[in-house]
Chains A and B, each alone.
Chain A
Amino acid sequence: MNKLSFLVTVLLGISIQLSAQLKQDSLNVDTAVTLLLLPPSGLYNYTSVSLNNPFNEQLRPGATNRFLVDFDYYANSNSVPTSIAYAMLFKNEVKNEWKDRAAKRMQKGLKFEDFMNTGLTYKHYFKKWDGTLMVDYHHRQMRIIRGSKDAFELLFYGNARFEDKTADLSNITFVNHIYNQVAVAIEKKVIYPKYQMEYGVRGAFLQAINDQEIRTGNTTIYTAPDGEYIDLKYDLTFNTGREGATNFLQVNGAGASGDFHLAVLNNDKWRIAADLFDVGYMHFRKTPVNYTGAKSIHFQGIVLPNLLNFSAQTFDTLKIEDTLRSYLPGKSTNQYGVFMPFTAQVVFSKPLLSNRLVLNVGLMYRYLPQYYVYGFAKINYFIKPDMVFSASAGAGGYSLFNLGAEFSKSWKYFDFTVGSSNLIGLMAPTHFPGASVYLRLGTSF
Chain B
Amino acid sequence: MHSTNWKLVSLALLLTFMAACKKNRQTSWNTDVLVPIATASLSIQNLVKDSSVHPQADSSLILDFNSTLYEFNLADKIINIPDTSIGQKYTLSALALPNIGINYKMSLGAIANNMLLSPDPGTHFLGLYILAQNGNTTSIPALNNFPFPGFQFDASAYLDSAILSQGVTKVWAVNGLPIPITNITCELRNTNDNSLIATKYIDSVAARDSVYFELPLAGIKIKNNLTFGVTSMSTPGSDTSMVLVDTTNFIALKVFVTDLKASEAWARFPAQNVVDLTEEVTQEIGDRKFTYVDARSGKIHIFITSSVKESLYLEYTLKGAYDKFGHPVKVFTNVPAATIANPTVTIDSIFDISGTAISLTGKDGSKFNTYTQNVIAHIDSSGIVRHITNQDSINIRYVIEDVAPNYIKGYAGRDTLSTIDSSAFSFLDIFKSGSIDLEKVDMKFTVENGIGVDGQVKINSLTAISPNNGSRTLSGSVVGQTFTVNRATDFPLTPATSYFDVNSNNSNIKDLIGILPNKLLYDVEVKTNVNGNTGQYRDFAYLESGMKIGLSAQIPLSFIAHHLLLKDTIDFDLSNTNTDINGISDGIINVITQNKYPIDANLTMIIYDDVWAPVDTLVINQSIPGADLNNNCRAVGPKRTKIPVYVDELRMENVKRGKHAVVVADFNSSTNNIMCNGQYLKIYADYKLDITFTAQFNYKVNAKF
Interface residues of A (CB under 8 A from B): 1-2, 4-6, 8-9, 12-13, 15-16, 19-20, 23, 87-96, 99, 155-163, 223, 226-230, 299-306, 308-309, 318-320
Contacts of A156 in B (CB 8 A): 29, 31, 701
Those of B1-42 within 8 Å (CB) of chain A = 1-2, 5, 8-9, 11-13, 15-16, 18-20, 22-23, 25-39
If the complex has contacts A4-B19, A9-B16, are A226 and B592 also in contact, measured as CB distance less than 8 A?
Answer: yes
Q: Are B16 and A94 in contact (CB under 8 A)?
A: no
Residue from B19, B32, B576 in contact with A161 in the complex, judged by beta carbons closer than 8 Å: B32
Complex CA gap A160/B30 in Å reads 12
Complex CA gap A2/B27 in Å reads 14
Q: Are B8 and A303 in contact (CB under 8 A)?
A: no
Q: Are A157 and B578 in contact (CB under 8 A)?
A: no
Contacts of B13 in A (CB 8 A): 9
Residue from A88, A230, A304, A305 in contact with B36 in the complex, judged by beta carbons closer than 8 Å: A230
If the complex has contacts A20-B2, A319-B578, are A157 and B37 also in contact, measured as CB distance less than 8 A?
Answer: no
Residue from B31, B35, B575, B592 in contact with A230 in the complex, judged by beta carbons closer than 8 Å: B35
Contacts of A157 in B (CB 8 A): 31-32
Contacts of A13 in B (CB 8 A): 9, 12
Complex CA gap A228/B692 in Å reads 6
Top 4 A-B residue pairs of the complex, sorted by shortest distance between their CB atoms: A158-B31, A5-B19, A94-B29, A227-B694
Flag whether B699 is at the interface (Cβ < 8 A). yes
Residue from A8, A20, A303, A306 in contact with B1 in the complex, judged by beta carbons closer than 8 Å: A20
Q: Are A158 and B19 in contact (CB under 8 A)?
A: no
Flag whether B81 is at the interface (Cβ < 8 A). no
Complex CA gap A99/B36 in Å reads 25
Q: Are A306 and B31 in contact (CB under 8 A)?
A: no
Q: Are B35 and A227 in contact (CB under 8 A)?
A: yes
If the complex has contacts A5-B16, A93-B29, are A227 and B578 also in contact, measured as CB distance less than 8 A?
Answer: no
Complex CA gap A19/B22 in Å reads 31
Minimum C-beta distance from A168 to chain B (A):
17
Q: Are A163 and B34 in contact (CB under 8 A)?
A: yes
Q: Are B33 and A2 in contact (CB under 8 A)?
A: no
Of A91, A95, A308, which is in contact with the most chain B CB atoms at under 10 Å from its CB? A91
Q: Are B39 and A300 in contact (CB under 8 A)?
A: yes
Q: Are B575 and A96 in contact (CB under 8 A)?
A: no
Q: Report the interface size class on chain B.
A: 35 or more
Contacts of B23 in A (CB 8 A): 2
Complex CA gap A197/B31 in Å reads 57
Complex CA gap A4/B579 in Å reads 29
Contacts of B699 in A (CB 8 A): 158
Contacts of A299 in B (CB 8 A): 36
Closest to B571 in A: A301
Complex CA gap A45/B124 in Å reads 172
Minimum C-beta distance from A304 to chain B (A):
8
Flag whether B306 is at the interface (Cβ < 8 A). no
Of A16, A99, A163, A227, which is in contact with the most chain B CB atoms at under 10 Å from its CB? A227
Closest to A8 in B: B15
Flag whether B642 is at the interface (Cβ < 8 A). yes
Contacts of B692 in A (CB 8 A): 228-229, 300
Flag whether B590 is at the interface (Cβ < 8 A). yes
Of A223, A300, A304, which is in contact with the most chain B CB atoms at under 10 Å from its CB? A300
Q: Are B19 and A227 in contact (CB under 8 A)?
A: no
Closest to B575 in A: A319
Closest to A92 in B: B27
Complex CA gap A159/B37 in Å reads 14
Q: Are B16 and A303 in contact (CB under 8 A)?
A: no
Flag whether B595 is at the interface (Cβ < 8 A). no
Residue from B2, B12, B34, B703 in contact with A159 in the complex, judged by beta carbons closer than 8 Å: B34
Q: Are B35 and A91 in contact (CB under 8 A)?
A: no
Complex CA gap A227/B38 in Å reads 11
Contacts of B37 in A (CB 8 A): 301
Closest to A89 in B: B705
Residue from B9, B22, B31, B703 in contact with A90 in the complex, judged by beta carbons closer than 8 Å: B22
Contacts of A95 in B (CB 8 A): 29
Flag whether B704 is at the interface (Cβ < 8 A). yes
Minimum C-beta distance from B525 to chain A (A):
52
Minimum C-beta distance from B595 to chain A (A):
15
Complex CA gap A261/B594 in Å reads 70
Q: Are B29 and A99 in contact (CB under 8 A)?
A: yes
Q: Are A91 and B27 in contact (CB under 8 A)?
A: yes
Q: Are A308 and B694 in contact (CB under 8 A)?
A: no
Residue from B15, B22, B27 in contact with A9 in the complex, judged by beta carbons closer than 8 Å: B15
Q: Are A228 and B12 in contact (CB under 8 A)?
A: no
Q: Are B578 and A303 in contact (CB under 8 A)?
A: yes
Flag whether B695 is at the interface (Cβ < 8 A). yes
Q: Are B27 and A12 in contact (CB under 8 A)?
A: no
Contacts of B30 in A (CB 8 A): 96
Q: List 12 A-B contacts (CB under 8 A).
A: A9-B13, A87-B29, A88-B27, A94-B27, A96-B30, A99-B29, A155-B701, A160-B32, A161-B32, A228-B692, A308-B705, A309-B704
Contacts of B575 in A (CB 8 A): 319
Complex CA gap A93/B1 in Å reads 40
Closest to B587 in A: A160
Complex CA gap A91/B29 in Å reads 11
Q: Are A226 and B694 in contact (CB under 8 A)?
A: yes
Closest to B35 in A: A303
Complex CA gap A235/B16 in Å reads 42
Complex CA gap A16/B2 in Å reads 10
Contacts of B577 in A (CB 8 A): 301-303
Minimum C-beta distance from B294 to chain A (A):
48
Minimum C-beta distance from B9 to chain A (A):
6
Q: Chain B 86-130, CB within 8 Å of chain A: the 1/0 string?
A: 000000000000000000000000000000000000000000000
Those of B663-705 within 8 Å (CB) of chain A = 692, 694-696, 699, 701, 703-705
Complex CA gap A301/B571 in Å reads 10
Contacts of B38 in A (CB 8 A): 301
Contacts of A8 in B (CB 8 A): 12, 15
Q: Are B703 and A5 in contact (CB under 8 A)?
A: no
Q: Are B19 and A301 in contact (CB under 8 A)?
A: no
Those of B290-319 within 8 Å (CB) of chain A = none
Closest to B28 in A: A93
Minimum C-beta distance from A411 to chain B (A):
15
If the complex has contacts A301-B36, A301-B39, are A309 and B29 also in contact, measured as CB distance less than 8 A?
Answer: no
Residue from A5, A96, A301, A308 in contact with B18 in the complex, judged by beta carbons closer than 8 Å: A5
Complex CA gap A319/B13 in Å reads 43
Minimum C-beta distance from B481 to chain A (A):
52
Complex CA gap A92/B705 in Å reads 12
Complex CA gap A306/B533 in Å reads 81
Complex CA gap A9/B14 in Å reads 9
Minimum C-beta distance from B504 to chain A (A):
44
Closest to B579 in A: A303
Complex CA gap A16/B1 in Å reads 10
Contacts of B26 in A (CB 8 A): 91
Contacts of B31 in A (CB 8 A): 155-158, 160
Contacts of A161 in B (CB 8 A): 32
Those of B113-155 within 8 Å (CB) of chain A = none
Known pairs A16-B9, A90-B22, A99-B29; list 6 more (Cβ under 8 Å). A1-B19, A2-B19, A92-B25, A157-B32, A223-B34, A309-B704
Complex CA gap A2/B705 in Å reads 12
Closest to B33 in A: A158
Q: Are B32 and A227 in contact (CB under 8 A)?
A: no
Minimum C-beta distance from A10 to chain B (A):
8
Complex CA gap A351/B640 in Å reads 78
Closest to A94 in B: B29
Q: Chain B 579-599, CB within 8 Å of chain A: the 1/0 string?
A: 100000000001010000000
Contacts of A223 in B (CB 8 A): 34
Q: Are A227 and B34 in contact (CB under 8 A)?
A: yes
Q: Are B15 and A308 in contact (CB under 8 A)?
A: no
Complex CA gap A300/B577 in Å reads 9
Minimum C-beta distance from B474 to chain A (A):
46
Complex CA gap A306/B703 in Å reads 8
If the complex has contacts A5-B18, A9-B15, A90-B22, are A229 and B27 also in contact, measured as CB distance less than 8 A?
Answer: no
Q: Are A318 and B35 in contact (CB under 8 A)?
A: no
